[in-house]
Amino acid sequence: MSDLLSIGASGVRAYQTALSTVGENIANTGVAGYVRRTTELREVAVTGGSARSVEGNGVIVGGVVRQGDVYRSQAVRQSSADLGRTETSATWLGEIESAMTGNKLGDRITDFFTAGRSLAADPTSVPSRAVLLEKAQGAATAFRQTGQALARATEELNASAERSVSTLNSLGTALAQVNDGLGRAQPGSSQAAQLADQRDQLLDQMSAITDVSTQFDALGRVQVKLGDTSGPVFVAGTEAGRVSFNRNEDGAVSFAVQRSGEPDVLTPGGGALAGVVEGAARLVAATKRLDEIATSFVTQVNAVQQNGADLDGVKGEKLFEPGDPPTAMTLATTDPRKLAAAALGSPAGSRDASNLAALETARNSGGWEAGITAVVTDNAAALEQKKLVADAQGAIRDNAVAARDSASGVDLDVEAVELMRFQQAYQASSRVIQAARDIFQTIIEIR
């Protein structure tokens, strides 16, 4: 009789746990990061001297099992890292495009030379000289503002990298705490399943910042390397390292991980950090090219100006004051009469415009407008390519998420079937207990 009661009681306890698991699944439908659980049920094992198998001794809960798929989860993290790299790189290409086109530098340079051509038609016209001086000021301002825009983009990139590194360090600390919790939690418990959900969410967030490689132990604790399988260890057990961001005098970006002892170099192959590396390189190249154009422009225009005679027949003085950086140029004169339109040796008030012809020659040989256009065009082509790649990688990531969720997500239809099944099993176990009680009462009454 006691066996019948214990069988029924074991069923009630086991199916109550199973019902709780189903209820938890239903309650968390659509919750990001939640992985469906199932209850593992086992037959009660018989202990004793007999080695033969005896069936019909009840049921016990073997544990709560997460329906996660390690390989599909890894595919999501890898695709997230790829997408994060491309999107971040595209962001900084967009910043470069805005900086190079926002102040219409190419147009301002063209306006300057167009005004020079107009002055050549009447070199003694003070109003025309004033227009040329105004356009020179416009070109200098456009150079300066474009250089400042690139400098701001560089500062924003540095700040963005620092924020990403700070977030990554916070995630590493949180993951180490989750590892500690997994080491303390009872394997197969709801607590262990919940901690595993948190672990996977942290890994997903990390993969958007940099590519990660993982290794799990029997308790579900994870060791994380950054970069690739040969990269530095970031999280091991309950210990998390610290990622640092550095930038040298040449503008090159580097990252390092320090967990114990000397820092190890981190070479991100994916995620926002890899996009920062690409963006920094693009910004350095654009800034360097713009500085070269500015230096050449100031040097050659000043050389032409100083090789001619102004309206008073005096040797011309430099038109632009070089800056540091080169784009920080300023106008060296505000007097229209000092513009050297004529050749050296021309008398005051000369209508000679040969030095303006030399200015046009310098324009053609300098190729400053073409240089600006080339920077903008090359950057625009790279940006468009990144956008196309991002679209493809976004689709890959969406497919990876869908594949993962198909294996680990909650399906209400499935849960409804499970709910009915375990309800019926629970009711059947209750009836076994009731039947045992009735039989026991009958026996007592017989006696």
The enclosing H or E element of 267 equals none
* Helix 271-305 and helix 70-102, axial crossing angle in degrees, nearest 10: 20
Three-state SS at 432: helix
Report the pLDDT value the prediction gives residue 47, as an integer from 0 to 100.
61
Tokens standing for residue 71: 């390989």
334 and 435 part of one domain: no
Tokens standing for residue 232: 């530095």
In this prediction, residue 51 has a pLDDT band, given cuts at 50, 70 and 90, of: very low
Q: d(Cα 13, Cα 37) in Å, to the nearest integer?
A: 18
Total-model pTM: 0.86
19 and 78 part of one domain: no
Which region holds residue 30: left if phi is over 0, alpha if psi is between -120 and 50, else beta? Answer: left
Q: Is residue 108 part of a domain?
A: yes
28, 168, 375 from 34: Cα distances, Å: 7, 22, 47
Tokens standing for residue 168: 């990554």
* Separation of first and last alpha carbons in the chain: 16
229 and 250 part of one domain: yes
- Name which residue leads in pLDDT, 208 or 259: 208
77 and 59 part of one domain: no
Q: Which of 54, 83, 198, 140 is nearest to 320 (CA)?
A: 140
241 and 387 part of one domain: yes
Give the structural domain span for 84: 73-100+166-282+377-401
Report the pLDDT value the prediction gives residue 169, as an integer from 0 to 100.
97
77 and 54 part of one domain: no
269 and 220 part of one domain: yes
105, 151, 366, 374 from 370: Cα distances, Å: 11, 22, 9, 6
Q: Is residue 364 part of a domain?
A: yes
Tokens standing for residue 139: 């070109």
228 and 145 part of one domain: no
Interval 375-398 mean pLDDT: 96
Q: Is residue 60 part of a domain?
A: yes
12 and 44 part of one domain: yes
Domain count, the chain: 3
**Strand partners for 256:** 244, 265
Instruction: Print the SS3 string covering 362-395.
Output: HHHHHCHHHHHHHHHHHHHHHHHHHHHHHHHHHH
Tokens standing for residue 331: 């106008």
Phi and psi, residue 262, nearest 5°: -70, 145
The enclosing H or E element of 74 equals helix 70-102
- pLDDT tens, residue by residue, 166-214: 999 999 999 999 999 999 999 988 899 999 999 999 999 999 999 999 9
113 and 170 part of one domain: no
263 and 321 part of one domain: no
- pLDDT tens, residue by residue, 394-431: 999 999 999 998 888 888 888 889 889 888 888 888 88
Q: d(Cα 343, Cα 308) in Å, to the nearest integer?
A: 5
Residue 66 has pLDDT above 80, yes or no: yes
Report the pLDDT value the prediction gives residue 447, as an integer from 0 to 100.
60
